[in-house]
Structure formats: C-alpha cells, structure tokens
Amino acid sequence: MPTLQEQLQELNQERVKLVTRFNSETDPALKETLRATLVDLDLLSDEIKLSIVAISAKKVSDLKKKIEALTGIALSGPFGGQIDRSHTKALGRSSEVSGERASEPPIEDDGTEHEGGQSSSQDLSVPPVSGSANAGMADVGDRALASAGEGLVLSEEHLAGLWKRSLYPFRPGKIIIFGIRGCLPVNRSGTGFGRSHEVSQSAVNYRTMNCAIGQWVPGEGFALFPGSTVPFFSAVQQGITRGGVGVNQMGRGRYLSYRPGFHKRSEGASGHWALLQECAITLQRTGDDVDFDTGDRWEVGRIAGDNIHCAFHMGPEGQIPNSRFSSVGCQVVAGTVRKGERGSERGPWAAFIEPFKAGAGMQEETEYVLFDYSEVQQVIRTRLQGKTVILRMGSSGPLVAEMQRRLAAKLGRAIEDDGDFGVTTFQAVLDFQSQVFGPNADDGIVGPETAAELGMTLPDFSFNGSMDDQVPEEDSDFGDGPQGRARASSPQGVATVSVAWGATAERKAGPGFRAKAIEIATRLRCDPSHLLSVIAFETGETFAPDIRNAAGSGATGLIQFMPDTAEGLGTTTDKLAVMSAVAQLDFVEKYLRSIARNRPMPTLSDLYMAVLLPAAVGQPEGHVLFKAGTKAYSQNRGLDVNQDGVITKAEAAAKVHERLLRGMKSENFG
C-alpha cells in the first residue's frame, strides 16, 4: 500500500493535470465541475499533510523519550532543539512537495515575533470549510450563527450599536477601520461608501479570505472590502512546531493607533503602502492545532507588527471569493501590489489604501476595531434586545473604572482605575476569569457572568438612539479628512452636504447642479457621491450635457443616453444636448427610477449597472457583461482591466470606483 507521502505526491501529479485542463477549458459547466474536483482534491491533500504532521510529531516525541530513557539526559538543550528544527524543516519540505510553497510573495509581517513563511501559490478558488475559528467568548452573547451564505443588510446604525454596546468612543470626522471575522461583503469587489451594505457569513478556514474589513466615517457612510483577519494555514501549521511563535491571531477589540507607512518596515520605500500597527494589541498563539480557540494562550501588550496590508491575492481571473491570502497575523485586504512600485495597487486594496497614501488630504492616523460575525448577526437580527453592555479591549468611561477597582480588590494587586480598558486591564480580566471559571475559560471580555463574579451589574443595552448618541450634531465641524467631512444628509440639509465631485460639478455644470443631484439621490435612495461619480465617469469629468460617445454609438449627455432610451423617456438625444446640465438631471432621475422600480441602489456597482447594462443590476460581481467579438465589447473595451476579452461587472465598476476616489480629493469634493 502506498505511503502517505507517496499518496500526496500522486495527488499533486493529478492536480497538475487538472489545473492544466481547468485553465484551457471553455465550457462553463465542465469548468465548474473541474473546479469542484480540484477543491475536493486540495482538501484531501490538506488532510494527508495533517496526518503526516501528526505522525512526524509523534515520532519526534517518541524519539526524544527513547533517547532520554537510554541516556538519562533531558533533551531540552541544543540537541533537543536540533530535533525540533529537523522536524520543522521536514514540514517545510512537505509543503514544497504539495505545491504550497512556490512563487507567491512571502507572508508579510513585521516585528521580532514574526518569523515568516510563504503563502500558497495555488490560484484556484477554494470554498469555505466549516470549522471553529473562534470558540468561546461566552460573555459576548449567543453563539448561534446563520447558515453559511445568508445575506443580511448591515447599516451605519448597526455599527453605531456595536460601538455603543462596547462603550467605544468615536473620533468624529475621521475614517475608522473595522474588521468582521467570518463575514464577507456580498459585493465581493468591495463597495463604495454607502449607508448600508449586504453581508453574509463565511466560515473561517485559514486558507481563504472569509472576512470583511471596512472604512467608516460616522454619519457619512461606510465601505466594505473582502479580506482576512486571521493568519494563513501553512504559517499556522509551521508555527505549531515552535509552540505558536512566529504566527498569531489578533484578539477582538479596539486598537487606537494605525499610521500610514511601508510594509515591511525594514523594506522602507521598497515595500508597499500599509497601515502600520503603532499600539499594543492582544493576540493568541496556538501550539496544538491549526485554529485558535479559548484553549490557546493569550499574549498582551505587544506591538507585534500586525499591520493592515494587501493580501497579495484576488483569486483566479480576478474572482475574489474564496481566494487565498498572505499573512502570519496581519489584517489583509484582497488585492495585489508590486513592491516598491507606487501606483501598482490593484483590486479592492487600491481603493482601501487611497485615503492613507502620502499626498494632499491624507489621513495620518486611524484606529482599528475587530468584531466577529456572531455579534454583527445579533445586532442586525435582534438589535441586541435583552443584552447588557459589555466591557472589553478599548472600552472607556466610569463603568470601566468601577470594574478596574473591583478587579484590583479581587486579585489583590494594584490596577489603575483610569477608565481605560487597555492591555493591563485585559490581562487582569484574563487572570480573574481563569481564577474563577478555570483554565481555558478566559476571553478578556466582561459580560454579565464575569461582572456578577466581580460583584457588579452591567446596565441593559438600548439600541435606540445609537447614531444620535455617537454622531456629532448637525452644526458640528467634521474636519477636513481625505473622504471629506460631509454633514449628515437630509432633504432639509442639502445645502450643507458635501459630496464627491460636488465642487467640480457645481463649477462645470452650473449653480444648483450639486444640490439637485443630492435631492435626486435622496429620492432614489442611492448615495449622491455615487451618482455624481457615475456622471463624472460617463462625461469624462466634464459634466457636459452635450458630450457624445466617441465610439459612435450616438450616446449623449450626463449618463450617455442612447437614442432609443431618450425616445422612451419622451425626448431625443438632440434635445438633451441643448439642455442645461441642471435641466437634464430630470431625465437622469426619470431613467434611473424606471430601472430601480422603487428599489434602493446602495452600491456604486449596481448604480453604474443601471446606466451601463440594467440586466446586471443585482448580479454577482463576477457576472460577465461583454465578450470580445461583440459590438458592445468594442464600445466598452476600456473597461477590460486585464485585457482577457471579457468584461465583468467588477471590472466595469472598478473604473467608476476610481472616479469616486478622485472625486473625494480636496479640489473636487464639496
């Protein structure tokens, strides 16, 4: 019977054949069958590798015991270390044989604790594998999760509720970065800023991107990007042999300081843009298996180099769902970049990092808050009715100070009651929970059970007024950050609202254009920045009502009305061309209303599809719009980002998203 290693080699040989067939296959149904087969093969390969690891680990342990029994020498010194290193080297070789270590960039992390490794170079999407990413955290609330793939709509109000429940303060007018572990945006190419976005559960498997990382300006909307908040499988696997050293998983909580810089720090400008961790964090290391749970040890107070950077992956043919990633502890956003080449960012990462890149209007610091999907699901479904507030890393206020005093009394040691739940308080909570509830029952979160043991009662949480409590009043100053500091929009406050392209549109299209566009967007339930960005794209940033399509299609005006479309609206392209831009907005609204049919269009992608190809509204981001050889493709050739002869919804929207970012620059925003 073949050995496990021989079986692994045979599987790898078969995989090479299947990959070749997959890449050349043109029949969609057969290609999907091949993809599913490759998924099964990869999972089986992983199981065999784990078996090899387990057998090797047992052999190492048995060999140590045998030598110690024969010699009476405990192998805790150089000789024992040499056996461990030999074992580690063997694991690396096993990864090479299975194709897991090849030409992709190294797993990127900084700091003395991170010892590297490499990410997978396989370019085939792998679906989520059920597994326990984070067990426990019993004080947070119920652990029942939605079925995988269930879509829920996350709004600004829900985010404010999560902040309010954890007693997290706000930084008005600044971009806040947040992560959701085990959750992906339904729009896999990333979203523009909007009041709400659809999300779905995606089981963390340490092999593929199954998390969302977002940017939020309270009162102005938020954007979501696919990525990962956990380390990659092969790095975790290698870390086991070192007791978890060199790889970690960041704990949930609020971390106060991330600054733009280069990743890695040691590479300086020869690296690439990232947000660098400049504050102490909490993290876990695993030395027993390839996930992180309450049985794994916590470490606190480290500046471990857990930066926010590019994942170096987007999946085959730009299909982001289930793509692999590069991390040993960093938080990563889907996309690619070439080190040392400014402007080489691609995919969601390009949009994510833009506000923080060096230049006029950049934001020089932000904070990062990490949740998991169960919390998000609860706030969406139940508004956390019947729950109490909770205290955890990053909470602040008098209730935290009271908890610190009670902790100090229970533990019999000095703890400053400064009302700041930082790493010292986190460690004290861990110690107290282990003392009261036993080993492996610590999560560092103070909920009703831990509070009761401390002799205090946490107040009930009220979701009502979450946004009112956290977002500045209408006459507050929102500052002048990179996204612009627009005030909360309302029909009564249109004159005070600032939006992407607002200043440029008013200057080029005439007085009243910006205000009318905002009013139309409010009625259509879409983001006015999205609407103006679409118009900017369609008109080449001229906002001219008479601009005509250079390809000869006859399309004219602010959203390039086709002749038959204009007739259907009761006008003609010639009549549209002689209107003022402000007057033509009436036909923009009439057209978009006919497509929306009273449905909101919260994403930039779907709003643009309403203009470009209405049949694609609501379709997934990988949906093919045009293929080479057709007239439609020729007219839209510039949208084919990778020049593969196919234009997907994500590719088309990416071009418009670039306009949105440009519209938020100081010279255009207003």
Residue range 163-173, pLDDT digits in tens: 999 999 887 77
Q: Where is mean pLDDT largest: 126-130, 132-136, 654-658?
A: 654-658
Domain match, 69 and 202 both: no
**What's the rounded Cα separation, in Å, for the pair 470 and 463?**
12
User: pLDDT tier at 476 (50, 70, 90 boundaries)?
Assistant: very low
State yes or no: pLDDT of 49 exceeds 50. Answer: yes
Which of 130-139, 396-405, 486-495 has the largest mean confidence? 396-405
pLDDT confidence of residue 246: 87
Closest CA to 505 of 603, 581, 589: 581
CB count in 10 Å sphere of residue 140: 22
Give dist(CA 442, CA 425) in Å, integer. 13
**What is the DSSP-derived secondary structure letter of residue 298?**
E
Which pLDDT belongs to residue 161? Answer: 93
Structure tokens at 439: 């080993």
Asked if residue 555 and residue 617 are part of one domain, the reply reads: yes
- Look at residue 186 in the predicted model and tell me its pLDDT: 85
State the DSSP H helix or E strand holding residue 403, giving kind and residue range, or none if neither. Answer: helix 398-411
Residue 185 lies in a domain: yes
With b for 16 or more beta-carbon neighbours within 10 A and e for fewer, the 371-381 pattern comes to bbbbbbbbbbe
CATH number of the domain that residue 654 is part of: 1.10.530
Distance between CA atoms of 628 and 333, rounded to whole angstroms?
30
**Band of the pLDDT at 478, cuts 50, 70, 90?**
very low
CB 454 within 8 A of CB 409: no
Task: Report the alpha-carbon distance of residue 42 to residue 12 in Å, rounded.
Answer: 9
CA 548 to chain centre: 38
Tell me the angle at which helices 373-382 and 156-165 cross, rounded to the nearest 10 degrees. Answer: 110
In a domain, 513, yes or no: yes
Residues 258 and 360 in one domain: yes
Query: Lowest mean pLDDT: which of 5-9, 23-27, 126-130, 138-142?
Result: 126-130
Please tell me the predicted confidence (pLDDT) of residue 582: 95
Contacts of 196 (CB under 8 A, 6+ apart): 153, 154, 155, 156, 602
Q: For 206-220, 351-365, 374-388, 621-635, which range has the lowest pLDDT when averaged over its residues?
A: 351-365
> What is the C-alpha to C-alpha distance for residues 259 and 363, in angstroms, rounded to an integer?
9
| pLDDT over 90 (residue 92) | no
Within-domain flag for 514: yes
Is 475 inside any structural domain? no
CA distance 203 to 438: 28
Whether residue 495 has pLDDT greater than 80: no
Q: Is residue 113 part of a domain?
A: no
- The answer to whether residues 302 and 268 belong to one domain is yes
What counts of helices (H) and strands (E) characterise the chain? 20, 16
Q: Residues 403, 494: one domain?
A: no
How many degrees, rounded to 5, is the angle at CA 350 between CA 349 and CA 356? 95
Residue pLDDT, tens place only, 430-463 = 999 999 988 877 889 999 999 999 999 999 998 8
Q: What is the predicted pLDDT for the residue at 525?
A: 83
Q: Residue 597: how many CA atoms within 13 Å on its side-chain side?
A: 4
Q: Which of 256, 266, 302 lies closest to 283, judged by CA?
A: 302
Q: Are residues 416 and 325 in the same domain?
A: no
Q: Mean pLDDT: which of 56-60, 369-373, 519-523, 644-648 is highest?
A: 369-373
pLDDT of residue 425: 95
Residue 664 has pLDDT above 80, yes or no: no
Q: Are residues 330 and 360 in the same domain?
A: yes
**Residue 48 has what pLDDT?**
63
Average pLDDT over residues 546-566: 91
Residues 378 and 412 in one domain: no
One domain, residues 39 and 89: yes
- pLDDT, residue 153, reads 86
pLDDT tens string 612-646: 889 888 777 778 899 999 988 887 888 887 788 99
pLDDT band for 481, please (50, 70, 90 cuts).
very low
> Do 240 and 261 meet the contact criterion of CB atoms below 8 Å apart?
no
What single-letter amino acid sits at 65? K
Domain identity same for 448 and 374: no
Range list of H helices, 195-266:
233-240
Q: Is the pLDDT score of 24 beyond 70?
A: yes
Q: Do 75 and 186 sit in the same domain of this protein?
A: no
The answer to whether residue 562 scores a pLDDT higher than 90 is: yes
CB-side exposure of 403: number of CA atoms within 13 Å?
33
Domain termination residue (choose one: 454, 470, 502)? 454
Q: Model confidence over 402-423: pLDDT tens digits?
A: 999 999 999 999 999 999 999 9
Residue 401, strand partner residues: none
Sorted by sequence, the CB contacts under 8 Å of residue 493 that are 6+ apart come out as: 474, 487
The pair of structure tokens assigned to 462 is: 């009220």
Look at residues 318, 351, 382 and tell me which one is the last residue of a structural domain.
Answer: 382
Task: Find the mean pLDDT for residues 293-315.
Answer: 85
Indicate whether 201 pLDDT > 60: yes
Helix 581-596 vs helix 604-612: crossing angle, to nearest 10: 100
Q: Give the per-residue pLDDT at 52.
A: 56
Q: Which residue has the tokens 């829920």?
A: 152
* pLDDT reported for residue 29: 73
- Residues 6+ positions from 283 with CB-CB distance below 8 Å: 248, 249, 250, 251, 298, 299, 300, 302, 304, 306, 329
Region 118-136 average pLDDT: 28
Do 331 and 448 fall into the same domain?
no
Query: Average pLDDT of the chain?
Result: 77
485 band by pLDDT with thresholds 50, 70 and 90: very low
Q: Is residue 391 part of a domain?
A: no
Q: Where residue 81 falls among pLDDT bands split at 50, 70, 90?
A: very low
Q: What is the pLDDT of residues 100-124, one digit of tens each?
A: 222 233 333 333 223 222 222 222 2
> Which two three-digit tokens encode residue 633?
């493709």
Higher pLDDT, 126 or 321: 321
Total domain count, the chain? 4
- Percentage of the chain beyond pLDDT 70 is 73
Using the 3D structure, point to which of 336, 355, 382 is the last residue of a domain.
382
Does the pLDDT of residue 194 top 50, yes or no? yes
- Cα-to-chain-centroid distance, residue 23: 28
pLDDT of 217 higher than 80: yes
pLDDT of residue 321: 61
Q: Is the pLDDT of residue 318 over 70?
A: no
Strands of 521-644, DSSP E: 624-627
What does the chain come to in residues?
670
Hey, what are 149's tokens? 């793939």
**pLDDT reported for residue 143:** 31
Structural domain for 323, as ranges: 151-382
What are the tens digits of pLDDT across the range 245-259? 889 999 999 999 999
What is Dmax (Cα atoms) for the chain?
Answer: 98
pLDDT at position 502 over 80: yes
**Averaged pLDDT, 132-151:** 36
> Does residue 479 lie in a domain region?
no
Helix axes 513-524, 528-538, angle to 10 degrees: 120
Q: Give, in order, the Cα–Cα distances in Å from 248 to each of 28, 49, 602, 616.
A: 39, 21, 36, 41
- Calpha distance 394→258 (Å, rounded): 14
Contact present, 269 and 262 (Cβ < 8 Å) = yes
Position 118 in a domain:
no
